[in-house]
Structure 1
Amino acid sequence: MRRIRRFLLAIAMVLGGLALLAPIAAHAQAIDYSALKYGTKENSMASGYFVHPATVTVKHHAYIVTMDLKTAKKLTSWPVRVLSVDGHAPENVRKVKDGAGNSHVYYSFTTTNLKRNINAKLAINVPDVYKAKHNITFRFKTTNLPALGRKAATQTTRTRQATQAKTAASASSVQPAAATTSQKAVSSSKASSKAQSKAVASTMSSRTSSQSSRVASSHSQQADASDEVPQQKTHWGGLIGGVIAIVLLVGGGSWWYFGKH
């Protein structure tokens, strides 16, 4: 009886474990992709290192993508490393060698959107042959990709709304600044116009004062001249004497002339 009970208990535990793993296995599926030159649609020189397809699992309303980076034995052990993927360090990194001595680097990354380009950065170091760092772009084929659910959609909507709010706030902060600058420019223009008006008025006033001074000086000179004329005295005695002398001269000359003839 005890052996039977133990046997039944073992079967129950196995079935329970399979029941727990079933939901996870149900969401895991293969997903194909292309390894491209960074920011282009051309195949990358490192595309031969990546094993196809990758696997994707839905967990906590996000996609967990697991990829296999394989390099040949002749290139030494694990000559290619993944420095970052989608802006973050790779997750769940495992290094394994297969029966032929080839190096496998398994790594994962988490995202809520596989319909966009996923960029990664690689470090390649083959001793005495090649050493460099390369950026690469992954493009996934999302046909029949499982849905993430409402929570992921809500998070995406909130992210978009937050981005729009930041953009609107930035625009509103720029507009008052522009308005203030415009007001300052208008005030400066008004102040400049007022200063020019004052300068013109001052110039006109100076010219008017100068002209008034000249006119006043001219009138004063004319007045002085007109005042001097009445002060001259007429010598009536000399004038009468001159007239009598002229009459006598004319009369005497006539008498002499007619007396001769």
Structure 2
Amino acid sequence: MATVGMNTEVGVELFLAECDRHLTLLEASGLQLQREGPSDRLLDDMFLIVSNLINVSFRMGIIPIVYLAYGAKVILKRICSGHFEQDDYEIHMLFVLFDRMRQHLDLIQMNYIENRSEGRHSLSECIYTPSLHLNEHYKNEYIFYKMIIEDNKSLYRVYIRIRNDCIRIPTKMLAVYQAIKESGELVASLPEETELWRERVNQSEARILAYLDPLIINDLIETIFHIRDVEVCDIVKLAF
């Protein structure tokens, strides 16, 4: 029996359908987590779904989704270890990560439909990242972990507080976000950048997940504190 290649037209459609299914399950599980609190079975199910999403995205070379899914996995690990309160921000960050993954999936779907009409059917022809081909022996989580840390980056939680009497809080927060993006990869934030650009933000606090090089943390903190009206900058490494 012939095997359907994941980079064929059928393979792309299977990938889109599988990712959509995983994300739908994650979103439903996240709502249950928010409503009922953590349970061993629920967290085990979410870990399995995230791992499946990482696997299929990595096989297809969709690295942004891999990074976002790993961020979700780190947060789930923190919840398992007891770093969770019913009103804590981790649950909100999970939904931000799910939403970002959904945005990437929608973009892939849109690009695929547009390019298919021009006779290009493979994912590598339609999407901004090339497909990766690995032997079965190497298709495991060690490869994903190595991919993320090979450039000496780890996932960090960043907490920022702007002075309450600051006149343009969104402007100051955008400056902080830009400093983080120039130093690493910002994967999720509350509030989100779109809300800041539209100046729909009143709160003076921001929480961010970003992949950063540990060697630049002190320089980044100094840079952020040089931004006028930044009152607190707390950067904590989140271990896998």
TM range (shorter): under 0.3
Higher relative contact order (CA 8 A, sep 6+): 2
Structure with greater helix share of residues = 2
Structure with greater strand share of residues = 1
TM-score, with structure 1 as normaliser = 0.26
TM-score, with structure 2 as normaliser = 0.27
